[in-house]
Amino acid sequence: MTKTKARQAAILAILDELYPNVTCALHHSSPWELLVATILSAQCTDERVNMVTPGLFAKYPTMTDLAHAPVAEVATLVHSTGFFNNKAKNIIGAAQRILTAYGGEVPQKIEDLLTVPGAARKTANVVLGTCFGIASGVVVDTHVSRISQRLDLTREVTPEKIEKDLIRLLPQSRWIQFSHQLIHFGRQTCVARKPRCGECRLADVCSSQDKVA
């Protein structure tokens, strides 16, 4: 095993020790609810989305309900997630698209999901991985992007190119879990504004130039 491969294996082993059973932090009871929550999570924290979705689904409990909802009313309900007008249009459009094109069932092929309003690769990967166990790619959010760069798993800066690097480096069996692990790690230890390097289990394999004590 090369030195690079050994370091990558060490990273995965430590993440498995720290977060053996992590899953998506967005609360949901169905693929549809997770799709909506993930659309709302763009440029917003999961915690905020989890505060908003109970009221949204209480008002519009089914996909059909949301498909016929007034944009202004939905925008009011999701206002605190930011970009509320676009998000309201997207989740209403998503409901309409899935009802008309897929019989009301969230599609399980990434090519189909990407035709749904508001569902880019990150959203599609979240839904397919979390709800269906389908490793269609690697979810690249701000945590995954930042920490993958710090660990020298990629030197790219765009989510699309970072995902390609991670897909190349990681076995497909790790694509789903790896993202969840890095997201939790980013919230608890490798915090963006003040990483806790002194207590970090990955410090010995971290290549970041700005580690702090």
CATH number at residue 179: 1.10.1670.10
Q: Is 163 a member of any domain? A: yes
Model confidence at 3, pLDDT cuts 50, 70, 90, reads confident
Of 73, 107, 132, which closes a domain? Answer: 132
Which of 122, 164, 210, 211 is catalytic? The answer is 122
Say if residue 148 is in the same domain as residue 105: no
Say if residue 125 is in the same domain as residue 144: no
Say if residue 179 is in the same domain as residue 109: no
Say if residue 37 is in the same domain as residue 120: yes
Which of 141, 152, 194, 210 is catalytic? The answer is 141
pLDDT in tens, 109-149: 999 999 999 999 999 999 999 999 999 999 999 999 999 99
Are 98 and 107 in contact by the 8 Å Cβ rule? The answer is yes
* Residue 109 annotated among the catalytic residues of the structure: no
Of 132, 163, 194, which closes a domain? Answer: 132
Range of the domain at 144: 3-22+138-205
Query: How much is the pTM?
Result: 0.92
* Residue 122 annotated among the catalytic residues of the structure: yes
Of 106, 132, 158, which closes a domain? Answer: 132
Say if residue 84 is in the same domain as residue 123: yes
DSSP notation for 102-120 = HTTS--SSHHHHTTSTT--
Beta carbons within 8 Å of 112's beta carbon, 6+ residues apart: 101, 102
Which pLDDT score, from 0 to 100, does residue 1 have?
65
pLDDT at 15 over 80: yes
Say if residue 143 is in the same domain as residue 128: no
Angle at 167 between CA 190 and CA 131, to 5 degrees: 80
Q: How many domains does the chain have?
A: 2
Q: Is 169 a member of any domain? A: yes
DSSP notation for 46-105 = HHHHHHHHHHHHHHS-SHHHHHTS-HHHHHHHTGGGSSHHHHHHHHHHHHHHHHHHHTTS
Are 77 and 56 in contact by the 8 Å Cβ rule? The answer is yes
Model confidence at 209, pLDDT cuts 50, 70, 90, reads confident
